[in-house]
Amino acid sequence: MLTDIDVVKDGINSLIRAGYYRDRDTLVGDAFRTMLEVRPVLKTEIAIELYTKERISLSRAAEIAGTSIEGFKNSLEQRGIKRIVKAPPDYKINKGVELIIG
């Protein structure tokens, strides 16, 4: 008897063999995009995860979540997640000071 997972695997392979998808990665990508359209709240979850792991910036996270930067900040605040604020490197600060002072 086939399990649910066997049916999914066989279904994936059938769609690839039938030419609907060129490979498993293409099919999974399409399925993932469809899932995010059906459950848009998952976009915010992905954005928060990537942001808290410091893989993306706040503005990129807001873009992924499909919200404004302020809206994304509110999402973080509601979950008790502190924003990541990094000071610019010393060389950039010194360059800025040189420009101001002359």
Torsion sign (Cα): 46, 48, 54, 57: positive
36 near 43, Cβ under 8 Å?
Answer: yes
Residue 17 has pLDDT above 70, yes or no: yes
- Asked if residue 25 and residue 73 are part of one domain, the reply reads no
pLDDT at 29: 96
Write the DSSP string, 48-81: HHHHHTTSS-HHHHHHHHTS-HHHHHHHHHHTTP
- Asked if residue 85 and residue 56 are part of one domain, the reply reads yes
Q: Which domain holds residue 56?
A: 40-102
pLDDT tens-digit map of 62-76: 999 999 999 999 999
- Asked if residue 44 and residue 30 are part of one domain, the reply reads no
Distance CA 35, CA 9 (A): 18
Distance CA 64, CA 47 (A): 6
- Asked if residue 89 and residue 57 are part of one domain, the reply reads yes
Domain count, the chain: 2
pLDDT tens-digit map of 25-79: 999 999 999 999 999 999 999 999 999 999 999 999 999 999 999 999 999 999 9
pLDDT at 97: 61
